[in-house]
């Protein structure tokens, strides 16, 4: 009887969750295709639409079209793409959530598996096929902002490189099984087969598992609702293709309730001769989802895959770039060797220069960079001569730069607002570690040997502002209550906090340095897990 009541309760909770997702309102933050329309209107930033409003994607179906938005009810960010909607045959957000939450056990046959033939197939000397899976919309695990869009961009790139592509987005267990089975059967007529999986993954007792969107992972026994990495390898082997490559861009920040047996990262594994297995990060580590247009590994792969280099040289670039841009936090690993001399693009150019470490781009920033560059400066009419003049460009203000030495914590500067003599700096923290954290803002208490770890701000006159010092002050407002000195950081959920600097002179234009010290962030070698956040060159006019 208790089991029946519990089952009914879970069913009701699930239905409430789905309905809440379906009936929500969303505000458009960014988009990358100007001809997208929602409820018959051309898309624009700030537009608010309901989950029942039809989204008509732009005319270029091969472009990965993305809408970044936030839920009006929860404030949480969401990213939707035309590839996600097409794969689930959805026209509205409500239909999309309804489809991905409706796990079917009757999925059989090629007719229900999305498949796209490459228009470039004849340009390559071998028949190529790929399976692409991108899981972002997890029901009981942290949402992955970039996983599905990473997969969509990899899919688009593979299509341009002569691969016929079978694909699935936000897949249930049954859907992932169906895709693998159908892919293994269809790929038998091809020469090269590639699988790319982007989403949550974990290891347990030296076995790797890829996580479907509905898997709870409340108990170790729930692992039978995951798809083993060995299943991917075995299905790839069954194709009989000469070239076999599988990319596991997984192991992001999955949560389990049995941490002692579920180790961070994926376990090492090997395939058969002629097969390569690529992990986006090394054993015992997690892959970063990223704040930019793509995750670091997917960005590196997309940057290098189109060159004419052989596969080993191409992957060397991918590994080095990922390692560099993540500040040595993520190191992809490749096992096995190809025996075919395979290269993704024999018609391509040279390998690009490897990217070095740089501040992370804001979401979709690179997508809009070209659009901003093409905007012409405004022209004015000279009142004396009547000539049309182009005004000189005003010097660009220094760009704010953020550094933070806490592991597995992403920090993004979202807003700077000045009110009178006060400046409010809004930050968004995302905890990518394996456990919730309650870090404490450190004021004057620095700890022995860490005198530089203190909260302080400097204006452009050299005046410093510290908590509870003289007439100047820094204060903090957490997400919940400003009187609570702790900022609660759950796993994988963006959390907002504010740094408030009071008493700035009216002529202060730039804050050259604002630094905040924290405790309980687990920084290696630091007492109390101290970590230092530094923000440089904040424009406050």
Amino acid 516: pLDDT:
82
Of the pLDDT bands very low, low, confident and very high (cuts 50, 70, 90), residue 491 is: confident
Longest dimension (CA), the chain: 90
Name which of 231, 177, 223, 167 is nearest 200 in CA terms. 223
CA atoms of 385 and 473, how far apart (whole Å): 52
Residue 207 or 79, more confident: 79
What is the pLDDT confidence band of residue 99, given thresholds at 50, 70 and 90? confident
- 73-94 average pLDDT score: 92
Q: Show the domains of the chain with their CATH numbers.
A: 16-102 (no CATH), 105-366 (3.40.50.1460), 401-539 (2.60.40.1230)
pLDDT score recorded for residue 259: 47
Reply yes or no on whether the pLDDT at 453 is more than 80.
no
pLDDT of residue 18: 46
Nearest to 489 by CA among 415, 427, 405, 401: 427
Task: Quickly list DSSP for 27-58.
Answer: EEEEES-TT-EETTEE--TT-EEETTS-EE--
Comparing 526 with 24, the larger pLDDT belongs to 24
| Inter-axis angle of helices 229-238 and 173-186, nearest 10 | 20
| pLDDT value at residue 508 | 82
How far is 55 from 57, CA to CA, in rounded Å? 6
**DSSP secondary structure string for all residues of 503-515:** ---TT--EEEEEE
447 contacts 439 by C-beta, under 8 angstroms: no
Q: What is the pLDDT of residue 85?
A: 95
Q: What is the pLDDT of residues 3-31, one digit of tens each?
A: 444 444 444 444 444 444 447 899 999 99
pLDDT at 454 over 80: no
Could you give the C-alpha distances from 252 to 135, 282, 428, 477, in angstroms and in order? 11, 12, 19, 29
pLDDT in tens, 268-326: 566 678 899 999 988 767 777 766 788 999 999 999 999 999 999 999 999 999 999 88
What are the DSSP calls for 436-454, one per residue?
-B--EEE-S---TT-TT-S
For 380-391, the pLDDT digits (tens) are 444 333 444 444
Reading the block at residue 382, the tokens are 């000279």
Q: What is the pLDDT at residue 487? A: 62
Check whether 431 has a pLDDT greater than 80: yes
Which pLDDT score, from 0 to 100, does residue 364 have? 47
pLDDT of residue 494: 84
pTM: 0.65
Q: Looking at the DSSP assignment, which residues form a beta bridge with residue 244?
A: 193, 275
Tracing tokens 């190529």 back to the chain, one arrives at 128
**Which pLDDT score, from 0 to 100, does residue 377 have?**
44
- Bridge partner list, 168: 133
Across 359-368, 428-437, 500-509, least confident range: 359-368
pLDDT at 241: 95
Most confident of 53-67, 206-220, 410-424, 464-478: 53-67
pLDDT tens, residue by residue, 148-161: 999 999 999 999 99
Judge whether 449 and 455 are in contact, CB under 8 Å: no
Q: Residue range 388-399: average pLDDT?
A: 49
Residue 146 has pLDDT above 80, yes or no: yes
Is the pLDDT at 255 greater than 50, yes or no?
A: yes
Q: Pick the residue with more confidence: 118 or 400?
A: 118
Tell me which residue of 284, 280, 313 sits closest to 294, measured CA to CA: 280
Q: Give pLDDT, residue 318.
A: 96
Residue 122 has pLDDT above 80, yes or no: yes
- The structure tokens listed for 299 are 């960005």
Q: Residues 170-212: pLDDT tens digits?
A: 999 999 999 999 999 999 999 999 999 999 988 888 788 999 9
Length of the chain: 541
Most confident among 11-15, 179-183, 372-376, 418-422 (mean pLDDT): 179-183
Q: pLDDT tier at 524 (50, 70, 90 boundaries)?
A: low
SS3 content of the chain, % helix, strand, coil (to 5): 25, 30, 50
Q: Tell me what the mean pLDDT of segment 218-225 comes to.
A: 86
- pLDDT, position 538: 87
Q: Give the pLDDT confidence score for residue 257 in this predicted structure.
A: 55
pLDDT for 83 equals: 96
CA distance 199 to 193: 20
Residue 412 has pLDDT above 70, yes or no: yes
* Predicted local distance difference test score (pLDDT) of residue 357: 66
Average pLDDT for the chain: 79
């Amino acid at each position: 009887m208790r089991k029946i009541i519990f089952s009914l309760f879970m069913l009701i909770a699930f239905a409430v969750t789905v309905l809440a997702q379906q009936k929500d309102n969303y505000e458009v933050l960014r988009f990358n295709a100007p001809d997208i329309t929602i409820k018959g209107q051309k898309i624009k930033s700030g537009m608010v639409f309901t989950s029942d409003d039809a989204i008509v994607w732009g005319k270029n179906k091969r472009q990965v079209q993305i809408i970044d938005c936030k839920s009006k009810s929860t404030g949480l960010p969401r990213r939707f793409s035309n590839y996600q909607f097409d794969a689930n045959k959805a026209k509205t957000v409500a239909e999309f959530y309804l489809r991905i939450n409706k796990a079917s056990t009757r999925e059989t046959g090629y007719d229900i598996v999305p498949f796209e033939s490459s228009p470039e197939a004849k340009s390559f000397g071998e028949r190529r096929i790929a399976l692409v899976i991108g899981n972002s919309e997890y029901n009981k695990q942290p949402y992955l902002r970039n996983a599905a869009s990473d997969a969509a961009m990899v899919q688009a790139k593979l299509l341009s490189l002569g691969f016929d592509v079978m694909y699935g987005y936000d897949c249930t267990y049954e859907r992932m099984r169906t895709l693998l089975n159908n892919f293994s059967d269809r790929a038998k007529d091809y020469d090269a087969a590639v699988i790319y999986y982007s989403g949550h993954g974990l290891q347990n007792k030296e076995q790797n598992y890829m996580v479907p969107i509905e898997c709870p992972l409340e108990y170790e026994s729930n692992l039978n609702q995951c798809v083993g990495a060995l299943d991917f390898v075995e299905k790839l082997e069954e194709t009989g293709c000469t070239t076999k490559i599988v990319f596991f861009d997984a192991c992001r920040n999955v949560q389990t309730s049995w941490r002692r047996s579920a180790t961070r990262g994926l376990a090492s594994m090997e395939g058969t001769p002629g097969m390569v297995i690529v992990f986006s990060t090394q054993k015992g580590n997690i892959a970063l989802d990223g704040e930019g247009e793509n995750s670091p590994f997917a960005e590196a792969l997309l940057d290098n895959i189109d060159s004419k280099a052989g596969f080993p040289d191409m992957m060397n670039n991918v590994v080095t770039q990922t390692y560099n841009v993540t500040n040595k936090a993520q190191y992809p690993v490749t096992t096995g060797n190809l025996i075919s001399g395979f290269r993704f693009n024999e018609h391509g150019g040279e390998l690009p220069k490897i990217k070095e470490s740089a501040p992370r781009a804001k979401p979709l920033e690179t997508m809009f960079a070209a659009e901003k560059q093409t905007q012409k400066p405004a022209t004015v009419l000279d009142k004396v001569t009547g000539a049309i003049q182009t005004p000189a460009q005003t010097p660009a203000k220094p760009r704010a730069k953020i550094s933070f030495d806490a592991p597995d914590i992403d920090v993004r500067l979202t807003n700077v607002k000045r009110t009178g003599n006060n400046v409010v700096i809004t930050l968004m923290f995302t905890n990518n570690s394996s456990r919730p954290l309650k870090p404490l803002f450190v004021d004057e208490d620095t700890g022995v040997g860490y005198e530089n770890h203190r909260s302080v701000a400097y204006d452009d006159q050299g005046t410093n502002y510290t908590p509870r010092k003289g007439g100047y002050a820094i204060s903090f407002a957490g997400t919940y209550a400003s009187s609570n000195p702790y900022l609660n950081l759950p796993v994988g959920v963006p959390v907002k906090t504010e740094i408030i600097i009071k008493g700035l002179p009216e002529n202060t234009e730039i804050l050259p340095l604002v630094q905040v010290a924290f405790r309980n962030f687990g920084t290696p070698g630091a007492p109390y897990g101290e970590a230092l956040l530094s923000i440089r060159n904040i424009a406050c006019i």
